[in-house]
Structure 1
Amino acid sequence: MATKVVKSEYNLVQLNELIKKRRSYFPAEYTGEEVPKAVIEQMLENANWAPTHGKTEPWRFFVFEGEAKKTFADFQADLYKELTPEADFDEKKFTKLSTMPLKASHVIAICMKRQQSEKIPEIEEVEAVACAVQNMYLTVSAYGYGGYWASGGVTYKEEAKEFFGLGDKDKLLGFFYVGVPAIDEKEGFRNPYQEKVTWISE
């Protein structure tokens, strides 16, 4: 029987290059210029088309722009100070939390809204959100801007949930920073995929 020839309407060479050239660009590497809002909206539109088991669409995003970035920065710095014992308090970390968002064009809080029935395993909801973030990563890269998924600071603090209106079963999974890179394109490296794959034919 003849093998069916699958035709694609997409430029697969460009697609493959985009995936391989995606990089993380950190806030300290941004120029401070604004990324067009249309690009942010396209990132969110593409994120919304991530795979989702049971069609729960668990991703929730809060986009901080303009003066709201300062509100977010103050919140996370103050919460860190509140939750950290005096002996463990790190002034440099406090300063970083209070200034890093201001270097970005936009900061997007990444959240997972838990299914009320909890029928879908929680890990699969988290995985769906991660797929949505990858869509944002690829989109911002395709437009020539920088992105970075940060999971430090107050990311996994239960006390941070109220700020985003999250419930007990919901999760805060980090923050996606967006900006205009001030540096040249970064080189990447991965070990060969063959080292991580086992083919099973029989």
Structure 2
Amino acid sequence: MISEAIKNRRAVFPVQYNNDAISKEEIKEILEAANWAPTHRRTEPWRFKVILGETKGELAGFLAKTYKEKTENFSEFKFQKYLNNPRKAACIIAICMQRDAKQAIPEWEEIAATAMAVQNMWLMAHELKIGAYWGSPGIVKYMDQFFEMADDERCLGFFYMGKYDGELDAGVRATSIEEKTVWL
């Protein structure tokens, strides 16, 4: 039931991943779910770059090096996360958005459509018992130095994925929907 999937989906972080592989078929199924997200005027602005194998280590090196070079408030803890998290994931999908310059659609709507595509990915990954986490570090603005990007395309973050053992904690919300809703 979709309501149960929505309530039970959790962020599963790279430190929680085991060493089990994610098949290409599972990745394709997750990406196909993304492709069915709502999109104003059918612009389908989401773009994805699948990072596997040795490229994960190359990404880790790039992220750590870029963080060290570009940050003003260096943290060894963050540096180590950039260096290690990509290697812990079975797969990383760079979440990108490409605006159609011919369309007069506000940028926030294209970002929202891309976020809905990621929500679809997250729900499909959850159904497949694959843990996932969306991270958007500030250094994503430099990703055009790591992989090729089209005109008007930008990286919004990374969707880390990995299989995990055990059960996930139950979800909670700080306040009820009634406290966040005004009926007019």
- Amino acid of the structure 1 residue aligned with 2:176: P
Tell me the equivalent position of 1:97: 82
3-state secondary structure, aligned to 2:178: helix
Deviations 1:17-71 (A, max 9, x none): 1111010000001112112221111010010011111111100001111111111
- Give aligned pairs, total: 183
Distance across 1 between alignment mates of 2:22 and 2:161? 8
In the alignment, does 2:183 pair up with 1:199? yes
Among 145, 152, 156, the alignment partner of 1:173 is 156
Q: CA deviation at 1:167?
A: 5.2
Matches within 5 A, 1:117-196: 117-152=102-137, 154-155=139-140, 157=141, 159-166=142-149, 169-190=152-173, 191-196=175-180
The two structures have a TM-score, normalised by structure 1, of 0.84
Distance across 2 between alignment mates of 1:187 and 1:46? 24
Distance across 2 between alignment mates of 1:182 and 1:96? 21
Distance across 2 between alignment mates of 1:126 and 1:161? 18
Distance across 1 between alignment mates of 2:123 and 2:149? 27
Distance across 2 between alignment mates of 1:76 and 1:90? 13
Among 43, 46, 59, the alignment partner of 2:30 is 43
Q: CA deviation at 1:111?
A: 0.6
The two structures have a TM-score, normalised by structure 2, of 0.92
Matches within 5 A, 1:19-38: 19-38=6-25
Tell me the equivalent position of 2:70: 83
3-state secondary structure, aligned to 1:178: strand
Aligned-residue Cα RMSD (Å) equals: 1.6
Larger Rg: 1
Deviations 1:126-183 (A, max 9, x none): 000000000000000011110111112522x3x3233232357432111001101234
Q: CA deviation at 1:81?
A: 1.8
- Contact (CA 8 Å) 1:31, 1:181: kept in 2 or not? yes
Q: CA deviation at 1:118?
A: 4.6
Tell me the equivalent position of 1:6: none
3-state secondary structure, aligned to 2:139: coil
Unpaired segments ≥5 residues, structure 1:
1-13
Percent same amino acid among aligned pairs?
A: 45
3-state secondary structure, aligned to 1:61: strand
